[in-house]
Amino acid sequence: MLVLGIETTCDETAAAVVEWQGDGPGKILSNVVLSQINEHAMFGGVVPEIAARAHVEALDGVIAKALSDAGRTLERIDGIAAAAGPGLIGGVIVGLTTAKAIALVSERPLVAVNHLEAHALTARLTDGTPFPYCLFLASGGHTQIVAVRGVGDYVRLGTTIDDAIGEAFDKTAKLLGLGYPGGPQVEIEAARGDPNRFNLPRPMAGRKDADFSLSGLKTALRLEAEKIAPLSDQDVADLCASFQRAVTDVVMDRLRAGLALFHDHYGAPRALVAAGGVAANQAIRKVLHRIAFEAGTVLVAPPLELCTDNGAMIAWAGAERLALGLTDTLDTSPRARWPLDNVSAHAAPAAATARRRV
Binding site for ligand KG4 (CB under 6 A): 10, 139-141, 166-167, 169-170, 181-184, 187, 276-278, 280-281, 308-309
Minimum Å gap between C-beta 236 and Zn ion is 28
Minimum Å gap between C-beta 186 and ligand KG4 is 6
Task: Identify what 140 binds: ligand KG4, Zn ion, none; CB under 5 to 8 Å per kind.
Answer: ligand KG4
Task: Identify what 184 binds: ligand KG4, Zn ion, none; CB under 5 to 8 Å per kind.
Answer: ligand KG4
Which one, 79 or 309, has the nearer CB to ligand KG4?
309
Q: Which residues contact 315 (CB under 8 A, 6 or more apart)?
A: 3, 4, 5, 16, 17, 18, 81
Distance CA 46, CA 233 (A): 27
Judge residue 71's burial from the number of C-beta atoms within 10 Å of its C-beta, 0-12 exposed, 13-18 middle, 19 or more buried: exposed
Task: Identify what 91 binds: Zn ion, ligand KG4, none; CB under 5 to 8 Å per kind.
Answer: none
Minimum Å gap between C-beta 184 and ligand KG4 is 4
| Percent of the chain as helix, strand, coil, to the nearest 5 | 50, 20, 35
Which 308-347 residues touch Zn ion, going by CB under 5 A?
A: 309
Minimum Å gap between C-beta 21 and Zn ion is 25
Which one, 188 or 330, has the nearer CB to ligand KG4?
188
Minimum Å gap between C-beta 267 and Zn ion is 28
- Which residue of this chain has its Cβ atom nearest to ligand KG4 in the complex? 183
Q: Choose, by CB under 5 A, the member of 13, 30, 126, 139 that binds Zn ion.
A: 139
Minimum Å gap between C-beta 342 and Zn ion is 17
For 235, list phi and psi in degrees, rounded to 5: -60, -45
Task: Identify what 310 binds: ligand KG4, Zn ion, none; CB under 5 to 8 Å per kind.
Answer: none
Which one-letter DSSP state was computed for residue 195? T
Rounded to the nearest 10 degrees, how much is the dihedral formed by the CA atoms of 265, 85, 3, 58? -150
Q: How far is CA 144 from CA 65, 315, 341, in A?
A: 33, 22, 11
Which one, 91 or 181, has the nearer CB to ligand KG4?
181
Distance CA 197, CA 164 (A): 24
Distance CA 266, CA 134 (A): 10
Segment near Zn ion (CB under 5 A), from 19-27, 85-93, 215-223, 304-312? 304-312
Site string for Zn ion, 247-286 (x = CB under 5 A): ----------------------------------------
Which one, 183 or 193, has the nearer CB to ligand KG4?
183
Q: 138 and 247 in contact (C-beta within 8 Å)?
A: no
Distance CA 350, CA 170 (A): 42
Which one, 79 or 183, has the nearer CB to ligand KG4?
183
Distance CA 222, CA 44 (A): 17
Which one, 10 or 52, has the nearer CB to ligand KG4?
10
Residue 168's H or E segment, with its range, is helix 165-175
Distance CA 67, CA 58 (A): 15
Which one, 63 or 279, has the nearer CB to ligand KG4?
279
Interaction site with Zn ion (CB under 5 A): 139, 309
